[in-house]
């Protein structure tokens, strides 16, 4: 970090600097000159102000970490009562792919209670070593004990990179661990690329999806990233186990929680769009709530579910659980039909791994057509009813 330092003894008239600053960052407070938060570090005051009145000072760069001391990629095993979330397999697959660049091991952290036997399942996906923390205090996810476990393992094995699923648990755990380790964290990565020197390129949309940000933490270890479910490819489960299981002990003091759980309320099961094989996604081009029935009818005919973009959620036409995109859900159906969706990066990043994408839009230059496998240019109020009629005719002919 750099800063500006004032030298009052060299300032005859403070008003000169006040008038010089184009951002209003120089101000007089009780007769004393101060620099406020409006400063943009343009250094005009250094160049044009009284000589020596303002000094630009750069902090000494932080010494680079010894990367040779940090090796391997660690994947957090996300689970509830030992039932492993499938995002774990996707992260293991990506870790294995990146380990081929660095020729370093892939580790997994499995924390919970009565889970040692279930850790064998992780070995069917090509992990070199699973570190198991099996303690009664870890029966339910609580942020302090789980962070303590994570910190303990990091200090033990010193992984170069850590991958965590962007689940409800992962979104709580990852920033806490990153803060504890004083390192960086990139959330909701869509692309991960590993370099031979173990620097991890973490790529994600930024500024509302207008740019793809490439983020690195070359001077810190471990490097940490969270990834949403269905972004990466999961490897095939192998019939035989590979790797080993290491049961870890930990100081009981690190498992103390200052949060008391009074009651657990089971959430009702939902038909999540993440699990649907067919999705019909509606965009802002739909003109009125009644048009949603047209979309829902098409979804019923194809045995799928209805989804939407963010504007329709904000308009109150859909529940937030139906939203696709970086601020919604990530989906990977066998078929998705988008209706009246332009295709901003915020949306396409949440569905571009679908097997087949059919896009309907009246704008031939709509960005969605760059992602789609099949593009239908025209008014959706002509195309969708015609599509519904064709499907109903096919179904009737089939039953006949």
Question: pLDDT per residue over 307-324, tens digit each?
Answer: 999 999 998 888 999 999
pLDDT at 263: 85
Output the six-digit token pair for 22. 């184009």
pLDDT band at 145 (very low <50, low <70, confident <90, very high): very high
Query: Do 124 and 236 share a domain, yes or no?
Result: yes
Query: Do 287 and 353 share a domain, yes or no?
Result: yes
Question: In angstroms, rounded to a whole number, what is the distance separating the alpha carbons of residues 150 and 250?
Answer: 11
Question: In angstroms, rounded to a whole number, what is the distance separating the alpha carbons of residues 253 and 154?
Answer: 17
Query: What CATH number is attached to the domain comprising 335?
Result: 3.40.50.1220
**Number of separate domains in the chain:** 3
Query: Do 44 and 73 share a domain, yes or no?
Result: no
pLDDT at 31 over 90: no
Question: pLDDT per residue over 100-110, tens digit each?
Answer: 999 999 999 99
Helices (H), 202-336: 292-301, 310-314
Percent of the chain with pLDDT over 70: 98
Output the six-digit token pair for 218. 């070359």
Q: Are 360 and 338 in contact (CB under 8 A)?
A: yes
Query: Do 16 and 111 share a domain, yes or no?
Result: no
Strands 32-35 and 26-29: antiparallel
Least confident of 112-116, 326-330, 351-355: 326-330
Examine residue 372 and state whether it is found in any structural domain, yes or no: yes
Which residue, 255, 289, 314, sits at the end of a domain?
255
Examine residue 283 and state whether it is found in any structural domain, yes or no: yes
Average pLDDT over residues 74-92: 95
Q: Give the residues across from 185 on adjacent strands.
A: 224
Output the six-digit token pair for 384. 């969708």
Percent of the chain with pLDDT over 90: 76
pLDDT at 72: 97
Query: What CATH number is attached to the domain comprising 235?
Result: 3.40.50.620
User: Which whole-number Å values give the CA distances from 290 to 90, 224, 286, 300, in the listed order?
Assistant: 39, 45, 9, 16
Query: Do 90 and 144 share a domain, yes or no?
Result: yes
CB atoms closer than 10 angstroms to residue 12: 8
What residues make up the domain containing 164? Answer: 67-255
Output the six-digit token pair for 39. 């400063």
Question: pLDDT per residue over 40-60, tens digit each?
Answer: 899 999 999 999 999 999 876
Q: Are 142 and 163 in contact (CB under 8 A)?
A: no
Output the six-digit token pair for 199. 């620097």
Query: Do 306 and 229 share a domain, yes or no?
Result: no
User: What sign results for the dihedral spanned by CA atoms 307, 313, 317, 318?
Assistant: positive
Query: Do 115 and 236 share a domain, yes or no?
Result: yes
- The residue count for the chain: 400
pLDDT at 1: 65
Which residue, 255, 284, 314, sits at the end of a domain?
255
pLDDT at 208 over 80: no
pLDDT at 207: 67
Output the six-digit token pair for 332. 């990977």
Q: What angle do CA 188, 314, 332 make, to 5 degrees?
A: 40
pLDDT at 400: 64
Query: What CATH number is attached to the domain comprising 32?
Result: 3.30.70.20
pLDDT at 374: 96
pLDDT band at 268 (very low <50, low <70, confident <90, very high): confident
pLDDT at 71: 96
pLDDT at 62 over 70: no
pLDDT band at 70 (very low <50, low <70, confident <90, very high): very high
Least confident of 87-91, 172-176, 288-292: 288-292
pLDDT band at 209 (very low <50, low <70, confident <90, very high): low
pLDDT at 286: 83
Examine residue 267 and state whether it is found in any structural domain, yes or no: no
Question: pLDDT per residue over 273-299, tens digit each?
Answer: 998 999 999 998 887 777 889 999 999
pLDDT at 163: 98
pLDDT at 358 over 90: yes
Query: Do 326 and 376 share a domain, yes or no?
Result: yes
pLDDT at 61: 64
Examine residue 17 and state whether it is found in any structural domain, yes or no: yes
Which phi and psi angles does 324 have, rounded to 5°?
-100, 140
Query: Do 290 and 224 share a domain, yes or no?
Result: no
Average pLDDT over residues 239-252: 95
pLDDT at 97 over 90: yes
């Amino acid at each position: 970090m750099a800063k500006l330092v004032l030298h009052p003894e060299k300032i005859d008239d403070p008003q000169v600097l006040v008038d010089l600053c184009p951002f209003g960052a120089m101000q007089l407070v009780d007769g004393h000159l101060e620099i406020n938060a409006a400063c943009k570090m343009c250094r005009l005051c250094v160049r044009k102000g009284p000589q020596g009145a303002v000094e630009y000072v750069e902090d000494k760069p932080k010494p680079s970490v010894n990367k040779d001391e940090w090796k391997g990629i660690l994947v957090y095993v996300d689970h509830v009562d030992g039932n492993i979330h499938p995002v774990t397999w996707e992260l293991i697959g990506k870790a294995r792919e990146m380990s081929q660049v660095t020729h370093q091991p892939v580790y997994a952290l499995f924390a919970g209670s009565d889970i040692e036997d279930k850790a064998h399942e992780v070995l069917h996906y090509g992990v070199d070593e699973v570190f198991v923390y099996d303690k009664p205090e870890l029966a339910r996810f609580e942020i302090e004990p789980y962070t303590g476990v994570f910190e303990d393992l990091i200090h033990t094995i010193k992984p170069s990179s850590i991958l965590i699923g962007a689940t409800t648990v992962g979104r709580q755990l990852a920033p806490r661990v990153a803060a504890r380790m004083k390192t960086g964290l990139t959330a909701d990565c869509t692309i991960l690329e590993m370099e031979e020197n173990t620097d991890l390129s973490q790529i994600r949309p930024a500024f509302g999806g207008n740019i793809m940000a490439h983020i690195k933490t070359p001077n810190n270890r471990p490097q940490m990233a969270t990834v949403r479910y269905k972004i990466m490819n999961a490897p095939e489960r192998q019939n035989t186990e590979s790797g080993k299981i290491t049961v870890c002990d930990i100081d009981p003091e690190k498992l103390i929680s200052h949060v008391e759980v009074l009651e657990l309320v089971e959430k009702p099961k939902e038909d999540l769009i993440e699990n649907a094989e067919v999705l019909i996604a509606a965009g802002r081009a739909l003109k009125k709530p009644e048009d949603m029935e047209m979309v829902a009818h098409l979804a019923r005919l194809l045995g799928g579910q209805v989804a939407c973009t963010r504007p329709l959620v904000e308009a109150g036409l859909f529940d937030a659980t139906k939203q696709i995109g970086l601020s919604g859900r990530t989906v990977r159906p066998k078929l998705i039909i988008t209706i009246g969706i332009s295709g901003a990066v915020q949306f396409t990043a949440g569905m571009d791994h679908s097997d087949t994408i059919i896009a309907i839009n009246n704008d031939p230059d709509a960005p969605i057509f760059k992602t789609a496998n099949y593009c239908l240019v025209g008014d959706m109020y002509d195309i969708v009813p015609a599509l519904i009629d064709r499907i109903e005719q096919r179904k009737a002919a089939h039953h006949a």
